[in-house]
Structures are given as C-alpha cells and as structure tokens.
Amino acid sequence: MDTSTVLMTGAGRGIGRVAAERILRARPDLHLLVTARGDGGPALAAALAEATGNPNVSGLSCDLASMASIQRAAAEAGARLDAGDLPPLSGFAGNAGMQLTTRTRATGDGIEPTFAVNVLANYLFVRLLWDRFTVPGRIVVTGSDTHFGDLRHNLGLVPAPRWESVRELATPREGAKADTAREGRAAYSTSKLAVAYLVHALARRLPDGVDVYSFNPGYVPATGLFREAGPVVRFLSRTLMQGFTATPFAHSPVTSGALLAEAVAGPRPGETGAYIDRDAVVPSSAESYDQAREEELWATAAELCALPVEVA
C-alpha cells in the first residue's frame, strides 16, 4: 500500500521516464504524482501504470512555463492531499528542463523560458507546497555539470555560465546576438548554476528533516534536450554522440534514469544542500557557493512569482 507521495516533473521522456518506472517498480510504498502539459498528465500516469504493473501513479496537467498553470496544479495536488485521495507528500523531483537555441523567446509571463522552466518552476512548486512536505522528506532538482563551465565537464559543447542580475537572467533579449544557439546554451548552463543556488537557499530554509539536493545526470545524448536544436545537432545527438556513452563522459538514459531514481527514492544520499554527481556527493563548482547570489535569486524569484520573500 502506498504511504506517501512524490510529485515528479519531466517523467514523460528520457531519464525522467526511466526514473519514474524504476521508482514504481522498486517502491510500491510510494505514490508517484506526475505532471505533463495539456491533458497529458492522466495519460502519462496510465502509461506508467501499464508499463510497471503498479497502479500507484496519477497525473496532473501542468505547463511548467506558465506560473498560472503551476499554481493550478499545486492547488489540485493540495486539494487531493487534503481530501486523502493522495497519501502525504514526502518528496518533489524537479526533473523537467529545456535548452533553447535562442535567448529571445518569452513565456506568457514574460520570462525567458529556459530560466522559467529550469529554475522558477521548481521554486514555485516547492513554495506552493511548502507546508505539505512531511518528515522525512526529500526534494531533488536536476542540475548539470555544465554549470562548471570548463572543458572537463562540458566537452566544449556548452558555453560557460554567465551570471547577471536575476532579473536580467529572467528577461528575454533582443537582437541578432541573442538569437543564436550559443546564447541559448549559455542560458542553459547559467540556469543550472541557478539551480545550485536555489538548492542552497532552500537548504537554509526548509524544516529539519526535509532535505534538498541538486542532481547531475551527466551528459545524456539520447534525451530530448536537443529537440530545439538544428537538424545537424539533433542527428549527431542520435548517432555519433551515442558513442560517448561508452566513455566516462556520458551515460545512456537507462543508466542516468536509474541514478535519478536512486537520488529521489533511495537511501539518504548525504547532508541537505549537497550536489549529487551521478552516484556520488561531491562539491559543485567553486562559483556555485555564493550566498549573496543565492539570496538574490531567492528574493527575485519570490517577486517574480508574487510571493512573500520569506516563508511564514
């Protein structure tokens, strides 16, 4: 019988799909609540139940690029928790992410989409469900070693993060330079640096017994992360780059998905606020330990989401 609920974003494809199926097979005591855009939440839940033989999964409709949609999804989850339709909330896995080939786009809220989905969506979900988390609880947000910004960690495929004020990071840009794949990828690596800052800020605020981690799956060329890229990059990600999975630099979705499942639902990986690099807790980049930036991110995210800066 399921005794607690884990809410998971990004469970529809890639490492998230693998992780969701692994959790359902290995942890019958957990109820998995998954999100998908449009009417896809219930359909995704049904597919996961059929694939695993575990009926303890349900779905929410949610567009992670829309604050209003996240608010509705969180309200629905809260109502179902209150009514006893779901067991108590013990976890959140913010796995959904995106990488664009431009920095000129905007969500309906006027936010640059990479920042909106990779950072703000996780912040908003956790804030809206803050008083629902039980102890022991665990929050895992998928990060990336691209936040290191060096050749060792990104193989030169992604530019190093470029930190600016948080409002600037959240603001779409104009002009030819901004409308390039390089700028889109820089926005991605910078958003993953912001994930590290968000996790550190959460670790200082969450109640004792509710842990939070950033998880790096490593380079996974077979995921849908490059779906916004041009045809050449998409082709290479499906073919030549698959060879990297035979090296320490990359993993298959099956391998990284299993590691994500372990981070979400396995034994406690380490002290709250830690960075999980695939299967080990290690220091994140030196740049990722900057409390002033962490607090700026926290305060600006609250303003952008129209929430009080501090949790009551």
Distances from the Cα of 196 to the Cαs of 32, 113, 227, 270, in angstroms?
25, 18, 24, 15
Spatial separation of the C-alpha atoms in residues 169 and 156, rounded to whole Å: 22
Strands 210-216 and 57-61: unpaired
In this predicted model, which residue has the larger pLDDT, 245 or 78? 78
The pLDDT value recorded for residue 231 is: 52
Taking residue 251's Cβ as centre, other Cβ atoms within 10 Å add up to 22
pLDDT digits (tens, 9 = 90+) for 199-244: 999 999 999 999 999 999 998 775 554 455 455 444 444 544 444 5
Q: 27 pLDDT band (50/70/90 cuts)?
A: very high
Which of 66, 68, 76 minimizes the C-alpha distance to 34?
76
The pLDDT value recorded for residue 249 is: 55
- Whole-number average pLDDT of the chain: 92
Beta bridge partners of 216: 277
Residue 249, helix vs strand vs coil: coil
- Domain boundaries defined on the chain: 4-304
pLDDT digits (tens, 9 = 90+) for 237-286: 454 444 454 445 567 899 999 999 999 999 999 999 999 999 999 999 99
The pLDDT value recorded for residue 233 is: 46
pLDDT digits (tens, 9 = 90+) for 172-199: 999 999 999 999 999 999 999 999 999 9
Strand order in the sheet with 210-216: 57-61, 30-36, 4-9, 89-94, 133-142, 210-216, 275-277, 280-282
221: Cβ contacts below 8 Å, ≥ 6 apart? 237, 238, 241, 242, 244, 245, 250
Q: 151 pLDDT band (50/70/90 cuts)?
A: confident
The pLDDT value recorded for residue 198 is: 98
Match 């989905």 to its residue by tokens.
117
Beta bridge partners of 142: 215
Q: 168 pLDDT band (50/70/90 cuts)?
A: very high
CB 135, CB 85: distance < 8 Å: no
With a pLDDT cut of 70, the percent of the chain lying above it is: 90
Taking the CA atoms of 197, 198, 202 and 203 in sequence, report the sign of the dihedral they define: negative
Which of 88, 122, 140 minimizes the C-alpha distance to 268?
140
The verdict on domain 4-304 having CATH code 3.40.50.620 is no
In this predicted model, which residue has the larger pLDDT, 87 or 232? 87
Helices (H), 84-180: 113-115, 121-128, 151-154, 166-170
User: What pTM did the predictor assign?
Assistant: 0.91
The pLDDT value recorded for residue 157 is: 82
Match 């590691």 to its residue by tokens.
259
pLDDT digits (tens, 9 = 90+) for 101-150: 999 999 999 999 999 999 999 999 999 999 999 999 999 999 999 999 99
Q: 1 pLDDT band (50/70/90 cuts)?
A: low
Beta bridge partners of 91: 6, 138
The pLDDT value recorded for residue 230 is: 53
